[in-house]
Structure 1
Amino acid sequence: MELRFTNELIEWRGPAPFYFIQTPADITEEIKVIAAAKTYGWGVLHTNVTINTTQWKTALIPKDGAYLVPIKNAIRLPQKLELGQRVDVRLSFDL
């Protein structure tokens, strides 16, 4: 299964900055259906993410009724992703 959306890159400032893209409400509802069958532990859900030409495996993190897609600097910097920039995201799940 594959889901696509566009949302802005946000930052969570802890001891080190972390970057995320939050899933919009309609996509979140679709992910919750998948998560009901596939999630482990505290609701984390494995996925494959594609942004531009870069693809990687990560885990979606549930937060405030949505999911956060973590964006490491190893992805963010080569793709020239800036805070507040709207980014096209493709998520795929092994069902």
Structure 2
Amino acid sequence: MELVFSAQVIEWRGPSPHYFVPVPDEESADIREVAAMATYGWGVIPVRARIGETAFETSLFPKDGGYLLPLKAAVRKPQDLTAGDDVTVEMTVRLRT
């Protein structure tokens, strides 16, 4: 399943800050339809994603009926991303075979 969406980078403040891109409601609903074929446990969904020129693999975190795309420093720094920035995400949900 391939998705393209735009959203704003958010910062999750905890013991150490983490950055995420919330997956919009429509795309989250599409992901929920295939979640059983993708998840490997705990509700996380493996994906391949691209923001700008930076491609990466990670897992979406379930949150309040939607999903959060985590952004490691290795993704944020080349694109100079911080909380509040608008980004366009190209993402492929990796289904188990």
Relative to the length of structure 1, the TM-score reads: 0.94
Work out the number of aligned pairs and report it: 95
Partner of 2:59: 59
Task: Compute the TM-score of the two structures, normalised by the length of structure 2.
Answer: 0.92
The 5 A counterparts of 1:1-95 are: 1-95=1-95
- Per-residue CA shift, 1:6-48, capped at 9, x if unaligned? 0000000111110000011100001111212221221001000
**Which runs of no fewer than 5 residues in structure 2 stay unpaired?**
none
> Match of 1:61, SS?
strand
Letter in 1 for 2:62: P
CA RMSD of aligned residues (A): 1.0
1:71 is aligned with what amino acid?
L
- Structure 1 residues not aligned, in runs of 5+: none
Structure 1 stretches (4+) deviating beyond 3 angstroms?
Answer: none
What percentage of residue pairs aligned between the two structures are identical?
A: 46
SS in 2 for 1:88: strand
The C-alpha deviation readout for 1:45-76, integer Å capped at 9, x for no partner, is 10001000111110000011110000011110
1-side partners of 2:16 and 2:72: how far apart? 12
Aligned-partner Cα distance in 1 for 2:66–2:23:
6
SS in 2 for 1:78: helix
